[in-house]
Amino acid sequence: MDARRDVLGADRHDYVLGAPVAEEVVARFEAVHGALPPSYRRFIREVGDGGAGPGVGLFPFGERDGVPFADDPEVGSPSGALNLDRPIDGAVPVARFIAGTDVWLALGDGALYGVTSERAYLLKPQRDFAAWYLDWLRRVVKAC
């Protein structure tokens, strides 16, 4: 399947996911920032973390572009300056679509947002991480 790596991002992730995230890591994050949406939590705990995914691939949990974000209780504060290397306003980065556009996951309702340096926009209302990821898998299989 896709031996030439024609699907966007395949040349980077090679259709491989990282190892699942330890429960202790997820629990520590949630103690500071709030609960992760159930489908995302289950994915990073049981399926894999970072790598193969929509756009050019998934970020490893707790990172964006290889830079870890801090466990800082003030990070989600709307009064703070926007820092795209940390969870902001109750959301975490989950993937890179294309250069300049990342996908962020809202902690409260699990909504997915496209985020650029200028704006954030809702990707698909009423969708969760699992549905979004499965849509990508279906498109990959169809393209191959």
Tokens of 61: 């949990």
The pLDDT, as a whole number, for residue 41 is 96
Q: Mention every residue, 6+ apart, whose C-beta is less than 8 A from residue 75.
A: 33, 69, 83, 86, 87, 88
d(CA 28, CA 34): 10
Backbone φ and ψ of 59, nearest 5° = -80, 145
Q: For residue 33, what is the enclosing H or E element?
A: helix 23-33
Domain boundaries defined on the chain: 10-143
The pLDDT, as a whole number, for residue 79 is 34
Successive 10-residue mean pLDDT values, the chain, 144 residues:
56 76 90 89 94 86 71 38 52 82 86 82 79 84 72
The pLDDT, as a whole number, for residue 114 is 85
d(CA 36, CA 124): 18
* 89: three-class secondary structure by DSSP: coil
Q: Calculate Rg over the CA atoms of the chain.
A: 15
Q: Which CATH number fits domain 10-143: 1.10.357, 3.40.190, 3.40.1580, 1.10.3470?
A: 3.40.1580
CA distances to 31, 32, 71, 112, 118 from 102, in Å: 25, 23, 20, 10, 12
The pLDDT, as a whole number, for residue 44 is 96
The pLDDT, as a whole number, for residue 78 is 35
Show the CA angle centred on residue 53, arms to residues 72 and 142, nearest 5°: 160
pTM (two decimals): 0.78
The pLDDT, as a whole number, for residue 71 is 47
Is the Cβ–Cβ distance between 42 and 3 less than 8 Å? no
